[in-house]
Structure 1
Amino acid sequence: MMQGHHFTTYEDFWQWSVQHKEDFWQETVANLGIQLQQPFSSILDISNGIEQPQWLQGAQLNIVDSCFQNDAEATAVIFQKEGGTLEKISQKGLENLVNKIANSLRNLNIQVGDTIAIDMPMTLEAVAIYLAAIKAGNPVATIADSFTPNEISVRLKITQPKIIFTQDVLLRAGKTLPLYQKVVEAAAPKAVVIKASNTEIQLRPEDIYWDDFLSDKTDFNSVIQSPDDTITILFSSGTTGEPKAIPWTHTTPIKGASDGYYHHNIQPGDVVCWPTNLGWMMGPWLIFAALINKASIALYYGAPMGTGFGEFVQNAKVTMLGVVPSIVKNWMKTRCNENMDWNTIKCFSSTGEVSNPKEMEYLMQLANVKPVIEYCGGTEIGGGYVTSTMVQPNIASTFSTQALGGEFVLLDEKHQPATKGELFLIPPIMGLSNSLLNRNHHKVYFEGTPTFRGQPLRRHGDQLERLENGYYKAQGRIDDAMNLGGIKVSSVQIEAIVNSLPFIKETAAIAVSPSGGGPSLLVIYYVEKTADFSDEERYAMAKDSIKKQLNPLFKVADLVKIKELPRTASGKVMRRKLREIYEKP
C-alpha cells in the first residue's frame, strides 16, 4: 500500500491512515478480501456521535466467510498433542468440520441469537466450534481454561449461554488437570464434552459427549447479519471487581486481521503460532489474523515451556511466533530451545506484559536475529494501538509506531500533552467496542475524559513514554488493573479474596516492575488483624487462596505488612504511592 500511494516513509503512511481514515479502512477491507453479501453504503458513519460510530454501514456479512477464501487443499490448521505427532487439516476439512458443528447446534435447538460458551484449551475442535457458532449466528462467550469454578460461574451468569463446550480434563506438562469438573461446579448449562483422555468421568444427565453431538451433514449456509451484531463476548478485568463483558462484532476481526497484515506481515502460506486461549483476545485474534490472511494456524496442545513446544515450532515451520514475555524468561533460564532450527521464523511478536530488553534480544537470537514486533492493545480494541513494523529499525522492548488506522495522545496529570503520561485513544477506530454487557460503556470509557484539539478522547488506562527517537516504551497501568502472566486482572478482585484470610484487616494489591524491566510482579500490602501465623504461613495462605479462588497462574511475589494503607482525602487507597514505596531503591 505504501508503494501504491507513493509514500517514501512509514511515518507518512501512518499519518495518511489517520488523516484519511475512511480511505484507509476502505482499502484495508479490500486488501483483506472481506466477503460482503451486501456492500456498505459508507465505510464509516458518525451521525450518532463519536462514541457510537457505524462501520460498514448498510453492509450484510458473516465474518467467518472471510476465513475460507484460501485453496481447498491449503493447510488451515497444524496441530500436535503433547507427546504426539504433527497433524494437519486442510481449508476444506476445517470448513466441513465447522459446518458439521453448525448443523449440530441446530439439532440441539440452538437458535440464531442464542449464546454458547467455550471453556477448553486452544485445539482444532475449539477453533472449529468458535467459527461454527459465529457462522450459525450464535455469539460465543469465551472462558479461559485456567479459571477456577467461581470465575467460570461469574462469566456464565453474565452471558447466560444455552450450552457450553468443554473437555473432560486438561493434559499439560505431563499432568492431568480437571476441567469438566470445574464446569459442573460452576453450575454450567448443558455441556458437550470432548474426551482428551481415557479417564472415566460421570456426566450429568443433561450432558453429552462430542461424538454423540456431531452431525455428519457438511453443508451449512452462513447466517448473514449486520456489521454490529455480536459474534463474541470476551472478558477484561475492570477496576470494580466483576470483569467487563465486551462484545465483539463482525467488524472487530477486521482490526485484528489488519494488524496481522500490516504489522506482523502475515502472508498467504505463512504459519502463525501463538500460545493462547479463546478466553483471551489473542485466541480469536489468532484465528482471524491467520485465516483471513490465508495463513495456517499452528496449535500445540501442551505447555509452551519446554523442548516439546520448540520442536513443534521447528517441525511446523512456523513463520510468525507470538509470545508472552514470561515464556521467554523461562526459555532463557532453561535454554530449552537453543538447539532448535527456527530459521523459518520471519518475526516474533510479544504482548500481554511489559517485556525485558535482555530477554527479547535472547529471543531474537533463537531464530538468527529476527525482529520482535512489540504489540499492545486491548480486548475492547480488538487489536493493538501501539506496535512495531517490519519496515522500521527493531529495538528490543520498544514500540516503533502507533498502529495504522488508529491514533492516541499522551497526557500528564493536568491533561496536557506529555512525553510520558496516560494514554487516551482518539476515536473512531475500527475495532473499538461500542457497548458492554454489564457496564455503562460511556461511564467506563468516556465520562470525564479531556478533549484534544477539540476532539473527545477515550480512556484506556495504560501509561506510555515517548522516547527521543520517537519510539514508545510501556510504563504499566495508570489505573487499578494489572497484567499478570499476560492476563489482565483488577486489584479489587485479588483484594476481595485475600481480605477473607483470618490475619488480614485490609489489603492493597499492586503490580510492580522489576528493576531490569520485564513482566510485572504481584505484591500485596496488608494491614494486620491478628498476630496469629508466621510470615511463611501467611505467605502460603495468600498464595493458596489466589490459586484456588481466582487463577493458579497468578503468583504472589511478595506479601508486605504495613501499619496503615495510604489514602486520599476521600478515602481512596493510593496504590500508586505503594508502588513508589516498593520500587524505591
Structure 2
Amino acid sequence: METATQTYRSYAEAYEKSIQDPEGFWGEQARQIAWFEEPKQILTTDENGFYRWFAGGKLNTAYLALDYHVENGRADQTALIYDSPVTNTIRKYSYREFRDMVARFAGALHGLGVGKGDTVVIYMPVIPEAVVAMLACARLGAIHSVVFGGFAPHELTVRIDDARPKVVISASCGIEFDKHIPYKPLLDKALNDSKHKPEHTIILQRPYVVADMQPGRDLDYVDVLQKAQPVEPVPVDAHDPLYILYTSGTTGKPKGIVRDNGGHAVALKFSMKAVYGVDPGDVFWAASDVGWAVGHSYLVYAPLIHGCTTVLFEGKPVRTPDAGTFWRIIMQHDVKVLFTAPTAIRAIKKEDPEGIEKIKYDLPSLKYLFLAGERCDPATYYWAKDLLRIPVVDHWWQTESGWPMVANMVGYGLKPAKPGSAGLPVCGYKVEILGEEGQELIPAQEGYVAVKLPLPPGCLPTLWEDNDRFYKSYLDRFPGYYMTGDGGYMDEDGYIYIMGRIDDVINVSGHRLSTGEMEEMVASHPAVAECAVVGIADDLRGQRPIGLVVLKDGQNISEEQIEQELIAMIREKIGAVAYFRNALIVKRLPKTRSGKILRKILRNIADGVHYAIPSTIDDPAILTEIHDDLKERKIGNAFLE
C-alpha cells in the first residue's frame, strides 16, 4: 500500500493524465489499497446517470485503517495520540491496541443488532472513543453519522429523523476551556422531540459530569464493552455508504452528504502523499473536530489508511492553557504537517500578536502548515509564514468533495505560492470559472466555480435518500458540471481564487450555517414583519451573521431588547457556533422591483466593499439609510474603530 505519486515526474503530468484518462489514473491509485476483491470497472454510471467509481470492488475501510497495518509491520507503531490539555491527558495507542479496541466495540454494536447498512449517530466530543465508534461502524459495514458534540437539540433531532439510527452513541459531557457542557440533557431533548426513536443509546460516562440514565434505553459504554466479543471486518461493496455527514442547505433542511467506501479510501490514500507530502510513519495533525469533514477525512481516515500517526486534540488554539498550545503539541509529538483553519491562526495571532509563545518551542519536525475551512486572507498567511518560517499552503475543498479540490500539491514539488489563492486544481478536478450562461470565462473574470464531470473518487455520489435534491443542488445549474456554490476567478497561471459563497450558506469559523434557516427563526419573532440575515466579514471567524429586521406596525420594542431575544432564539435553535450577535431595526429592506431582497449588496455595505446599484432596485435611498445605521452601531469591518 505505497504511493503511486512517483509514477509521474511533475504535477502537470499527473494532472493531465487525471483529466484526459481518469480511468487509467484512478485505476493506478486503486492499486495502492488492499481490496478483498479488485474492482471490475473503474468508472461507471448508475441508474440515475450519476458517476460511480470502482464497481464490483470489495473492501473494508476499518481493515485498511488498522488491520492492514497490524498485518504489515506497523502493529507497534503509534496510530493515535490523544492530547487533551482540557483534561491534562496525553495517551498513545498503537495500531494493534487501537485495532483491538475497535474490534471489541464493533462487537458491542453487533450485539445490539447493528449490522451492514444500519445507521448509527455519534454525538461525542473529540476523544478516542469517538474515533473508535466511527471505525467500529465501518468495521461492521454500518453507516455512521457524526454530529458535532454540543450541537443544539433541534439540529440533532433533524439529523436523527433523517438518518433513523438504530443506536446513538454519546458521552456525558464535552469541555469548552474550563467549562463542562453536559451532553445528555441535549440528547434527551433531541430524542424526546424526534419522530424516530433509536432502540438504544450508549453513553460514555466521563468523570467530570455523570449523566442520568434512562433504564432500558440508555446503556453504559464500559458495560457494553466488557460484555462484547471482538468481530472481524465485514466486506462491503465499493459503492456502499461509509458515512452520512450533514451540511447546511439553503432551505434550512440539512443535506446528508454520502461518502462511499471505495472512492473515499482511494482518494484519501492518494491525497496524503500527493497533496500533503507525508509518508507512512509520519505524524500528521488535523486540528479539527470529529463532527466536521476535516475531522472525518484527515483526523481519522486518511492518516490511518496511509499508515501515519494521527493527533487527536481536545482543546482550543488559545486558553488551553495559552496561545502556545499548538506549538507545544507540534514539538512534543514531532508533528510533520499541521492542518488547521485560518480561524485558529487568527485566534493565536489575536492573543499573541508578536508570537512570543512560539519562542518557547523548537519545531524542527514541522514541514508544512495547511490552511482550509474558509478563505485565508493574506495578512494571516504572512503572519503564519513569518512566524513558522515554513511553507504555508492555503487550499480549498468542501464537505461535498471530502478531500482537496484546489491546492499546492506538495507531493509533486511545491509551486510558488500566491497569497489569496488556494492554488491549482488537484488531480481529478477540472475546475472552470463559468458565467451566467455557462460559458467559460477568461482569466481574472469572476464567476461561478464549477467542476467538469465526472468528479474524482471520494466526492459525494449523491445525497442521503434524496437523488432529486442532489441533482437540483449541484448538477442542474450547469449541465455536465458540478456547481460548487462558490464564486471566484482563475488567473493567467491557472491559480484559483475562491471569493465566497454565492448562496446563503455562510462559513463561521469553519462551520457552514444557513442564513436562510436563521431568517426563518428571526421571522418567527412576533414583532418582526420581515427580515434578512446576511453573513458579513469577521476578522477572527471569517464570517458572522447579522440580522436586519423590519418591525410590524405598532410595535414599540427597543432595538436592544429584540436583539437580545433574537440572539437567545438562535443560540437555542442552532447553538453558540452561529455567533449571531447583532440585530438592526431598519425601516425597510433593499429589494428589486420583483421583491427579491438584495442580500449581496447588504453584505457589501457592511463589509465596506464597492457595489453597483442595480437598475432593478425599487428605492436606492434605503441603501444610504442602512449604511448610516450600520456605521452608527459600528457593525461591520468598514466601521470598526
1:135 match: secondary structure: helix
The AA in structure 1 aligned to 2:204 is: I
1:44-83 aligned within 5 A: 44-46=43-45, 51-68=49-66, 69-70=68-69, 71-81=74-84, 82-83=86-87
User: Does 2:128 align with 1:110?
Assistant: no
Q: TM-score, length-normalised on structure 2?
A: 0.85
Cα deviations across residues 73-131 of structure 1 (Å, max 9, x unaligned)?
01100012224242100000000001001111121222322211100112111111100
Per-residue CA deviation, residues 371-428 of structure 1 (Å, 9 max, x unaligned), is 2222222222121211222221233342221111111211122332223211111111
- Residue 478 (structure 2) aligns with: 450
Distance 1:111 1:450, change over 3 A: closer
1:555 matched to 2:582? The reply is no
2:347 to 320, 323, 330: 330
1:526 aligns with one of 544, 549, 567:
549
Whichever residue aligns with residue 404 of structure 1, its letter is C
Q: Does 1:35 align with 2:59?
A: no
Alignment partners' CA distance in 1, 2:150 and 2:266: 28
Superposed CA offset, 1:512-544 (max 9, x none): 335x89812322222122543433333333322
Q: Distance in 1 between matches of 2:465 and 2:7?
A: 44
Aligned in 2, Cα 1:98/1:542: closer, same or farther, shift over 3 Å?
A: same
Give the Å deviation of 1:500. 2.5
Q: Distance in 2 between matches of 1:412 and 1:565?
A: 28
Matched, 1:361 2:359: no
The match for 2:235 is 224
Give the corresponding residue for 1:505.
529
Is 1:249–2:285 an aligned residue pair? no
How big is the shift at 1:151?
0.6
Q: CA 1:584 to 1:366, structure 2 compared with 1: closer, same or farther past 3 Å? A: closer
The answer on whether the counterparts of 2:544 and 2:578 sit within 8 Å (CA) in structure 1 is: no
Return the alpha-carbon distance in structure 1 between the equivalents of residues 435 and 211 of structure 2: 56
* Residue identity opposite 2:257 in structure 1: I
* Equivalent pair of 2:276/2:409 in contact (CA under 8 Å): yes
What is aligned with 2:396?
376
Aligned pairs (5 A) from 1:205-354: 205=215, 206-215=217-226, 219-250=230-261, 251-286=263-298, 287-306=300-319, 307=322, 308-335=325-352, 337-339=357-359, 340-354=361-375
Matches within 5 A, 1:145-224: 145-187=149-191, 189=198, 190-205=200-215, 206-215=217-226, 219-224=230-235
What runs of 5+ residues in structure 2 fail to find an aligned partner? 192-196, 610-641
The residue identity in structure 2 corresponding to 1:300 is F
2:433 matched to 1:410? yes
TM-score where L is the length of structure 1: 0.92
Look up the match of 1:432: 459
Greater share of helix residues, 1 or 2?
2
CA separation in 2, counterparts of 1:462 and 1:62? Answer: 34
* Distance change >3 Å, CA 174–CA 393, structure 1 → 2: same
Counterpart AA for 2:146: T
SS at match of 1:289: helix
Q: In the alignment, residue 442 of structure 1 is paired with which amino acid?
A: Y
In 2, distance between residues paired with 1:558 and 1:96? 50
Name the CA distance, whole Å, in 2 between partners of 1:395 and 1:14.
20
Please report how far the alpha carbon of residue 3 of structure 1 lies from its aligned counterpart in structure 2 after TM superposition: 5.2
Quote the Cα distance in structure 1 between the aligned partners of 2:37 and 2:7: 27
Q: Is the 8 A contact 1:351 1:375 kept in 2?
A: yes
1:395 pairs, out of 418, 423, 428, with: 418
Report the CA distance between 1:198 and its aligned residue.
Answer: 4.0
Task: Give yes or no for contact 2:52–2:461 (8 Å, CA) kept in 1.
Answer: no
SS at match of 1:520: strand
Q: Is the contact between residue 373 and residue 387 of structure 1 (CA under 8 Å) also seen in structure 2?
A: yes
Q: What is the alpha-carbon distance in structure 1 between the residues aligned to residue 376 and residue 346 of structure 2?
A: 9
Q: CA RMSD in A?
A: 2.2
CA distance in 2, matches of 1:396, 1:540: 39
Counterparts in 2 of 1:89 and 1:536: CA distance versus 1, 3 Å: same
Using the aligned pairs only, state the percent identity.
25
Q: Which digits, 9 at most, give the CA deviation of each residue in 1:188-220, with x for residues without a partner? A: 632111122243332111201111010466642
CA contact (8 A) 1:97 1:218 kept: no
Q: 1:172, 1:301 within 8 Å by CA — same for their partners in 2?
A: no
Question: Quick one: structure 1 residues 542 and 102, their matched pair in 2 at CA, closer, same or farther if it must change by over 3 Å?
Answer: same
Query: Partners in 2 of 1:373 and 1:56 — Cα distance?
Result: 31
1: CA distance between counterparts of 2:429 and 2:342? Answer: 25
Which stretch has the larger CA shift, 334-343 or 375-384?
Answer: 334-343
Structure 1 gaps of 5+ residues are none
Deviation at 1:280, TM superposition (A): 1.3
Task: Report if aligned partners of 2:124, 2:149 keep a CA contact under 8 Å in 1.
Answer: yes
Aligned partners of 2:317 and 2:347 also within 8 Å: no
Verify the 8 A CA contact 2:394 2:407 in the aligned structure 1: yes
Counterparts of 1:230 and 1:21 in 2: how far apart (Å)?
22
Shift of 1:573: 2.9
Q: Is the 8 A contact 1:113 1:137 kept in 2?
A: yes
Deviates more, 1:144-153 or 1:468-477: 468-477
- Give a deviation string over 1:466-515, Cα, whole Å, max 9, x none: 2344322220011121111101111211112222334322221112335x
Alpha-carbon contact 2:108-2:229 (below 8 Å) kept: no
